[in-house]
Structure 1
């Protein structure tokens, strides 16, 4: 089995690194690549949907990114302890009609000894926004630039 550093137990710095790596992965919108960060038998709760294992996670992410166009995400460490990390996040996207949305949420993550996530619990709320209200502005399909503000600096 391959390792996905940083590995637990997490320090503040390694937890921040793990959060940024997850953010960067999700911003690629590459479901197969993102799913490799999870154990083969990973268990998710994402809103009202449940996924078990990489195949279901990949399918969930493909459905998500088919509906959520020009998706951009920012995650921020909330807390960490041992092999667990809590994050808060915000993301923006538009649907196929051009309506923009901003979603806010929290995730609780639990990792195995190889640095793979085996539990993910996500609570997410969203609301429509005008295109002029967008704050997550960078080229799509890539990581957030290092100089782009995070959630706290954006006032989220």
Structure 2
């Protein structure tokens, strides 16, 4: 993955973002410290796919802060400006709030002013008693869009109908 242009990113981001060990960090007005990661994910595609993660580093309660949304949007936008790849987002399940996170992520995306440039698909994988929410985000201009969508649908279908 190519390194982000932090000057461009910070021009569009409400919060100042900095890079540290291939991660992107910012601190909110409420002193909530966030860490954003992009990890290669080879579970579905051999290359060109990254998993996006958002982590509240200091576990402070984050109020409904629109600047967090704007900062995350700016970071995702920068990802696609420097890496025309596939982005996956899986909601963290440790506290059973993954459905709420999936709704919030979908709400943010639906309010995003450049959403028409992207295709997003959110799916739920049922594993034992846990629902895992996974989202695929890809630029509509990607020449492999149809193949990417078919591969993602096949992957989700395989895990939705696991043999007993």
Structure 1 length-normalised TM:
0.26
Q: Which one has the largest radius of gyration?
A: 2
Structure 2 length-normalised TM:
0.25
The structure, 1 or 2, with the larger RCO (C-alpha pairs under 8 Å, 6+ apart) is 1
